[in-house]
A = this chain, B = another copy of it.
Amino acid sequence: MSFNTFGRVLRFTTWGESHGPALGAVLDGCPPQIDLTEADIQPFLDARKPGTSRFTTQRREPDEVKILSGVFEGRTTGTPISLMIENTDQRSKDYSDVAKAYRPGHADYAYDAKYGFRDYRGGGRSSARETAARVAAGAVARKIISGVQIRGWVSAIGGDEIDEGNFDADQIGQNPFFCPDADAARRWEAMVDEARKAGSSLGAVVTCEATGVPAGWGAPIYAKLDADLAAAMMGINATKGVEIGDGFGAAALRGEQNADAMSPGASGPDFASNHAGGIAGGISTGQPVRVRVAFKPTSSILIPVPTITRDGEESEIITKGRHDPCVGIRGVPVVEAMMALVLADHFMLHRAQTGG
């Protein structure tokens, strides 16, 4: 893996900045003869797209994907698939303050410390717009592992968790929060509105589950499925934590509580529980693969925060412009995409070593 490439056998490289002419991904290693058109990708981009409700940034981007290579007569050829999304609604004037001072919580200072200067327009390379490229690549990955179903949702906003008893998958697409609990969605509407109007922001937790993953994907010791998922999720903008299965909850359990007892099943074992989140020893067990991801509150807020300028002077900054009041919401399609990409990569890696 290089700086901007992810994956082992199925690899994708993303490029592009928030305010450049375009951004994109090159997906390399895709198996041949998979039906693929832009229409297979666009719905996932639409789910991530900004400007669809008042709970996301008001930047208007159609996020239309173009396939520039790797597909012939509607099928993948096995050669690299170049995916491009043009930027259309850049407003560079919004970002003049950012050129001078560092926004706390953003990568401004770190980029300057590393590279000596930075593309300050909209966060440049560190903008969450980069995740559109992941979502596009992830849509292709889903087709590689078409027997696997991947579904993500927001399970908490601002510390307010959904009630698992209210879980209704059909709800996820019916509110602007990807929320499976209709009651929680109502509460969150008020909460996010309040934060947005106050110029503040809220953190969130995204949960994602993949069903239909057969036992045997993943590999010891440094190609573990859970380790790759952890890297994939912790590399998404604004994430600060990753859990597999019970995660930190497991650290408070006793051994007999945490054991996922097995009994004979139709094909492989039936498990009495899934504390492990579908992974043991870095290898899938056939249970649903479940991951939870913590998103911090959006760092771009209208409330002034003390900071310093590029010249080291004391200052204060508020981040005007168009921002998500809760960046975790639009994280759902990104988490799903990364899950798809990791699983497709491991499907192929497993096939390389074992033939199957």
Contacts and interface: CB of A to CB of B under 8 A. Distances in A.
A64 to B, nearest CB: 14
A314 to B, nearest CB: 6
Given A9-B9, A251-B205, A294-B251, A113 B348 contact: no
A351 B356 CA distance: 9
A353 B297 contact: no
Interface in A285-321: 285-286, 294-301, 303, 305-308, 312-314
B4 A220 contact: yes
A279 to B, nearest CB: 8
Contacts of A227: 230-232, 234-235
A277 interface: yes
B203 A250 contact: yes
Interface stretch (A45-53, A162-170, A182-190, A240-248): A240-248
Interface string A181-212: 00000000000000100001111110000000
Taking the full assembly, how many copies of this chain does it contain? 4
A105 interface: yes
A200 B256 contact: yes
A4 B79 contact: yes
Contact of A80 (B3, B68, B70, B354): B3
A77 interface: yes
Contact of A1 (B201, B223, B281, B294): B223
Nearest to A8: B1
Given A105-B260, A306-B262, A352 B354 contact: no
B78 A223 contact: no
Interface in A208-224: 214-224
Interface stretch (A36-44, A54-62, A123-131, A145-153): A123-131
A238 to B, nearest CB: 9
A126 B280 CA distance: 10
A74 B156 CA distance: 43
A107 B280 contact: yes
A187 to B, nearest CB: 14
- Residue with the highest number of chain B CB atoms closer than 10 Å, among A13, A200, A269: A13
A282 B235 contact: yes
Contacts of A5: 2, 5, 11, 13, 28, 222
Q: Which 3 A-B pairs have the closest CB atoms?
A: A107-B281, A159-B252, A113-B215
14 contacts: A5-B28, A5-B222, A20-B69, A23-B69, A29-B353, A77-B115, A104-B259, A126-B220, A230-B230, A241-B243, A248-B294, A250-B294, A262-B306, A262-B308
